[in-house]
Amino acid sequence: MRRKQTALLMTVLILSSLAFVSQTRPQAPVENTNPGEAAGGGPPVTDEDGDRIPDFHEAVLFGEDIILDTGSEILRISGLDSKNGTDNMSDHDNDGASALLEYCWPYTLDKCFTDRIALTGKPGELSESGIREWLDPRVADTDGDGLPDGYEIYMCTEGGLGYLNTTSAWTCLWFDPLDPSDMWEDIDRCVDFTFGCGDGFDVDRNGVIDATEIYSNSEEYIFGAPEDWITERDGLWCSGEINLLTIGSCQTTVERETGDGWLGSDPTESDSDYYSWSEIISVGLAIPGDGIPDGWEVHYGLDPRNASDSILDSDSDGWDLDRDGYIIPDTSVATTSWGESFSNYEEYMIHYDGGVSVTPGLRSIDMSNLDSEFLTFDQSTSPQLIDSAVHTIIPDNERDRLIIGSKYGITILDPFNDLSTIQNLPAGMQLNSMIMWSKNGDDYLVMLTNSGITVVEMENGIPQFDLSSFGDSDFSYSIDSLTEIAVLNTGSGNLDVMLFSGQNAWTTSISGPSMTPPVYLESISDLLSNNAADVNTALHMDVDGRGPLLLIGTNGGLIAWNTTDGSDSVGEPWWVFNRENAENYVQKADLLNISKSAIVNVLELAGPKDSAGNYELITGAWIGTAGGLHLIDIEEIISMPLSAFDSERMWKEENWLSGSNDVHSVYTSNNNLVIVGSRDGTWVLEGGYQGVTGLSDNQTYLPGLVTSMATIESSSAVYLFAGISPGKYMNIMPINPQSSDSDLDGMPD
């Protein structure tokens, strides 16, 4: 019995010593792996067949054949043979990496036996198993991420997604053949040439591309291959010869349109079309892309490799505009407006909608539980909104309700009891904005529509109006499509306001349910017209020690005006900054378009608030531009305007390409939080009117173009509500380039 134990112990010791020796780097650079000729200190690595792959690697680790059952056939993948000196160049698993390269990795063959100063393989402290791992020459995809080993080696080295470290080994930032996480990565290049932006498609349009919506690296590699593709049997999904990979590792049944290369889409380019058709000849593109992201093309059955399908009208839903019996096709993405067909590219641009493709409506979240899911209200939910194009939210804290203004009317929403009351505007009329005003205990709603201004009384928090309310009268005037309103602090006791429509302005005074006829303002209107600037927002502020100041934000800059009632008695309006000099005052919005930085989307008061949320003192104003959030010092904007704008620690780096710093609304709370509503959704800053300390640790993210925000406090929590704009198109149904009637309303797209 003791002899058996001794024999067993000796066997274990011998195997352990072999394992140790096989993993021990020679003390000098490896020039010869022949045991008889090896030189240098320490025991040599045994390599009986002299193929530079240690015997332990060939005989013990990867010597056994692998049986692969495909369901329709049985495949046998040969292992390595420690007595065969030629199998180091074999590629039994068809993954493009020779057995010797798989042993050497993360060293390439030109470094493995000359400049290598560490062991091959992945060390245990970096591997999931805790022991050193090598690429398996019998398995095409060692880490199981859907990407063959040779493809990942190529992308890491030749593809530029890795670098040579100080040990002369490759460090892969992505496409590591011994890291399975690449299966879930979608690393496509960003506009700023960094990686990680992806080309997935937000199918449900909720503002978040989840795991099922990404167009992953592995999906891009295998795009276009038959569903039953098996690398060990069929080879790599490529055509011809690929540098660094074994000759003949690419499949041979499909030819690539423009010569040797990978057959799938490019996981490093979000728009990777590399050829187009000219008549019957395929032509390679000097600059890849067709204007449509790969993920969108794949989702709708288009080809992300072929740029020609962007100008096709796959569902034949064009319109014979001149009624000559022929629909003129599009000839390029740059001239799609010239043709009469509704091309796939045009349908994508409808979906993109200037970057506002998130489903619109009203969203809410419990601010005390930021990890909770947000709620969405629109025309399809219960309770429902009249429509989802929300632009104004007025809290009715007395009744725990919200008065919501949207494109086609008003919704009175009780979110805590799941109730809503809907009030439609007359047919053809659209609501652009609204404010509520109280006098002598009575409440009034001032509505700006596409025909003018209307004032209606409110009873029990519900506006009272019908078709007759919108005809010309003492409480309704048809002057233009009004979009913005600024309350003027005249001290008259009435609601004195300035009205805006594009480049035109008026004033009127509202007293109860009646108002004075609007008076056209020539000075400010001329200033706007001469600079082709449309008004986006306006704010009238009391300034301590001097008269009030009116700020007007436009798509061409910021205007200031020392005026109480819109008259020129104190002075005429002037530009604080315009399209030419905006970047001297505010954050840059676009690297290639200077004028975009001049766009002012929102102006809000800044200062301390009382417990009811009313301002105790006005110290400045928040200004949201296309390039970011800023705090205006009201004392300096007159005398030293260049130093009046503070944007320190107000920049959000994450998602800035998607519009996180294109600010459209601002909400300040009593607990030193500034909630920013951007084109990309909401985010939160710590601080307030005295300054900002940076991004809050607790972020509230409600996706979409946030146009208005309000809070309501219930018995248990404070809820934030955000109005989400749909952009130019309502985006209720996704547009489908394979369907001639995407919204199923009986009219072709």
Check residue 410 and give its pLDDT. Answer: 97
Backbone angles phi, psi at 63, to 5 degrees: -90, -25
- The CA distance from 351 to 737, in Å, is 10
Per-residue pLDDT tens digits for 295-308: 999 999 999 999 99
- The CA distance from 172 to 153, in Å, is 9
CA nearest neighbour of 659 among 720, 744, 735, 601: 601
- The CA distance from 49 to 399, in Å, is 87
Sign of CA dihedral 5, 10, 15, 16: positive
Q: What is the mean pLDDT of the chain?
A: 89
* pLDDT bracket for residue 30 (50, 70, 90): very low
Check residue 714 and give its pLDDT. Answer: 82
Per-residue pLDDT tens digits for 448-490: 999 999 999 999 999 998 888 888 888 899 999 999 999 999 9
Tokens 């766009």 correspond to what residue?
599
User: C-alpha distances in angstroms, 619 versus 55, 559, 575, 604, 691?
Assistant: 78, 19, 21, 11, 11
Q: First CA to last CA across the chain, in angstroms?
A: 87
Per-residue pLDDT tens digits for 55-65: 999 899 999 99
Contact 94, 249 (CB under 8 A): yes
What's the whole-number mean pLDDT along residues 192-206?
88
Tokens 């880490």 correspond to what residue?
143
- The CA distance from 99 to 97, in Å, is 7
* pLDDT(31) > 50: no
Cβ count within 10 A of residue 53: 27
Omega prior to 106 cis, within 30 of 0: yes
Check residue 731 and give its pLDDT. Answer: 80
Backbone angles phi, psi at 667, to 5 degrees: -130, 125
- The CA distance from 741 to 749, in Å, is 5
Check residue 3 and give its pLDDT. Answer: 38
Per-residue pLDDT tens digits for 57-92: 989 999 999 999 988 899 999 999 999 999 999 999
Contact 216, 204 (CB under 8 A): no
What's the whole-number mean pLDDT along residues 623-643?
93
* pLDDT bracket for residue 354 (50, 70, 90): confident
* pLDDT bracket for residue 20 (50, 70, 90): very low
Omega prior to 573 cis, within 30 of 0: no
Check residue 715 and give its pLDDT. Answer: 77
Contact 300, 737 (CB under 8 A): yes
* pLDDT(37) > 50: no
* pLDDT(321) > 90: no
User: Do β-strands 361-366 and 718-725 pair in parallel, antiparallel, or remain unpaired?
Assistant: antiparallel
- The CA distance from 81 to 354, in Å, is 60
- The CA distance from 591 to 626, in Å, is 12
Contact 404, 410 (CB under 8 A): yes
Per-residue pLDDT tens digits for 703-739: 999 999 999 988 778 899 999 999 888 888 889 999 9
pTM, 2 dp = 0.83
Per-residue pLDDT tens digits for 355-372: 888 999 999 999 887 677
Contact 138, 94 (CB under 8 A): no
- The CA distance from 404 to 352, in Å, is 26
User: Do β-strands 519-520 and 663-668 pair in parallel, antiparallel, or remain unpaired?
Assistant: unpaired
CA count, 13 A, side-chain hemisphere, 198: 21
How would DSSP label each residue in 478-512? E-S---EEEEE---SSSEEEEEEETTEEEEEEEET
Contact 586, 646 (CB under 8 A): no
Contact 182, 151 (CB under 8 A): no
Long-range contacts of 71-78 (CB under 8 A, 24+ apart): 72/228, 75/230, 75/232, 75/233, 77/138, 77/139, 77/232, 78/138
Check residue 216 and give its pLDDT. Answer: 95
* pLDDT(11) > 90: no
What are the residues whose beta carbons fall under 8 Å from the beta carbon of 678, sequence distance 6 or more? Answer: 652, 659, 660, 661, 662, 663, 664, 705, 706
Q: Assign 609 to helix, strand or coil.
A: strand
What are the residues whose beta carbons fall under 8 Å from the beta carbon of 515, sequence distance 6 or more? Answer: 453, 455, 474, 475, 477, 508, 509
User: C-alpha distances in angstroms, 429 versus 247, 423, 432, 442, 486?
Assistant: 69, 13, 10, 26, 22
The secondary structure element, H or E, covering residue 602 is: strand 600-606
* pLDDT bracket for residue 44 (50, 70, 90): low
How would DSSP label each residue in 348-377? HHHHHGGG--S--EEEEEETT-TTSPPEEE
Beta partners for 493? Answer: none
Residue 303 CA to its chain's centroid (Å): 22
Check residue 33 and give its pLDDT. Answer: 43
* Domain assignments of the chain as residue spans, ordered by start: 1-90, 94-270, 358-413+700-730, 425-520, 533-696
Check residue 729 and give its pLDDT. Answer: 86
Burial of 616 (0-12, 13-18, 19+ CB in 10 A): exposed
